[in-house]
Amino acid sequence: LTKNRTEGSVVPTSGMCVTCVDGCIGMCEIGKSAYRGHEVIYPQPFGVITAAAEKSYPVDYSHFNIMGTATGAHGVEADSDKAIFPAVNLEVTFGHDNGIKFRRPWIISGVGSTDIARNNWEGLAIGSAVAGTGLTIGENVVGMDDEAVFKKGRVVDTADLKRRVQLYKDHQRDGYGAIIVQANIEDTRLGVQEYAIGTLGVECAELKWGQGAKDIGGEVKIRDLAKAQLLHERGYLVLPDPTDPGVINQFERGGFKEFERHSRVGMVSEESFAERV
Ligand code: SF4
């Protein structure tokens, strides 16, 4: 985590001290990023946290109020005896033919190949399915699955994706809610959505253009040489190159202890998007 030299006098838009001084060791977010960037690319402790940020922006959602209305009602009959809050209907339908229906108007966005996602999947899947809302399986779940089977570079069987989809579907009620499978560049190349739709019966897909949290692709740390080589073979960018004999030698001698697996950022164009749809 970070600190400021001038505690209590922090510029909200940058997270910096109001007077940034030459010679400071740089405990703030910007300072740490500058000299320990390769470490803070993965917020610590890696694998058990979901990262947010320490900045506060001049305008955020807390500055907006959802105002009710003094006349009429939405989602319930405008009758004083009937318009009580547990009776309000929050159902929504959407999609090109309004064929997707949710009991509650929210969706959990991409929860992917991270340990956080894997460890909490039961609660997320069963909770969303029972509530009749949407849950999105994020990127790289197939690529990171040791048990996934590929033929000619395309996925034909999985353990993790299958488990995630099944858990949701087993608890879905009356057709409400949806399990959505997201795809980034690597997922698309591996044929993840074709497999999810064709084999697992998934009905909703999300084409991923970029990252909600940052302007680089998704990344994780890999502490195992064989896994790093597997991901390299599956088309991921793995740094340093785990097939390079010099790198292997250095890793085995303890010169470094972790590889980085990066996924690419989608460079969307209107034409390519339309073609894919
Ligand atoms: S580097 Fe500058 S902004 Fe960051 S903690 Fe030090 S003085 Fe503050």
77-121: per-residue pLDDT in tens?
999 999 998 999 999 999 889 999 999 999 998 888 877 888 889
Label residue 54 by pLDDT band (50, 70, 90).
low
- Whether the CB-CB separation of 227 and 146 falls below 8 Å is answered with yes
CA of 69 to the centre of ligand 1 (A): 47
Alpha-carbon dihedral of residues 48, 148, 266, 152, nearest 10 degrees? 160
CA of 198 to the centre of ligand 1 (A): 53
- Contact residues for 91 (Cβ-Cβ < 8 A; gap 6+): 101, 102, 103
**Is the pLDDT reported for residue 261 higher than 70?**
yes
What pLDDT is stored for residue 221 in this prediction? 87
**pLDDT > 70: what percent of the chain?**
96
**Is the pLDDT reported for residue 228 higher than 70?**
yes
29 lines ligand 1 (CB under 6 A): no
Which residue did the predictor score with more confidence, 268 or 46?
268
What pLDDT is stored for residue 67 in this prediction? 81
Which 8-state DSSP code applies to residue 25? -
Which residue did the predictor score with more confidence, 54 or 87?
87
- Mean pLDDT over 126-153 rounds to 96
Q: What tokens were used for 190?
A: 């591996």
- Whether the CB-CB separation of 112 and 50 falls below 8 Å is answered with no
Which 8-state DSSP code applies to residue 111? E
Query: Of the candidates 94, 107, 95, which has an alpha carbon nearest to the alpha carbon of residue 168?
Result: 107
What pLDDT is stored for residue 50 in this prediction? 73
d(CA 38, CA 47) in angstroms, rounded, equals: 16
Max intra-chain CA distance, the chain: 77
Which 8-state DSSP code applies to residue 17? B
**Is the pLDDT reported for residue 159 higher than 90?**
yes
**Is the pLDDT reported for residue 258 higher than 90?**
yes
Q: 184-198, 202-216, 227-241, 246-260: lowest mean pLDDT where? A: 202-216
- Mean pLDDT over 170-181 rounds to 97
d(CA 76, CA 78) in angstroms, rounded, equals: 6
**Is the pLDDT reported for residue 257 higher than 70?**
yes
What pLDDT is stored for residue 90 in this prediction? 95
- Whether the CB-CB separation of 217 and 263 falls below 8 Å is answered with yes
**Is the pLDDT reported for residue 141 higher than 90?**
yes
CA of 221 to the centre of ligand 1 (A): 28
205 lines ligand 1 (CB under 6 A): no
- Whether the CB-CB separation of 95 and 206 falls below 8 Å is answered with no
The preferred substitution site among 1, 2, 3, 4 for testing ligand 1, maximizing ligand atoms within 8 Å of CB, is 4
d(CA 271, CA 51) in angstroms, rounded, equals: 34
- The angle subtended at Cα 218 by Cα 222 and Cα 47, nearest 5°, is 50
20 lines ligand 1 (CB under 6 A): yes
- Mean pLDDT over 42-46 rounds to 73
CA of 39 to the centre of ligand 1 (A): 18
Q: What's at 21, amino acid-wise?
A: V
d(CA 213, CA 109) in angstroms, rounded, equals: 12
What sign does the dihedral 215-196-171-76 (CA atoms) show? positive
Q: 62-66, 82-86, 170-174: lowest mean pLDDT where? A: 62-66
**Is the pLDDT reported for residue 153 higher than 70?**
yes
Nearest-CA residue for ligand 1 atom 8 is: 17
197-215: per-residue pLDDT in tens?
999 999 999 998 877 656 6
How many residues appear in the chain?
277
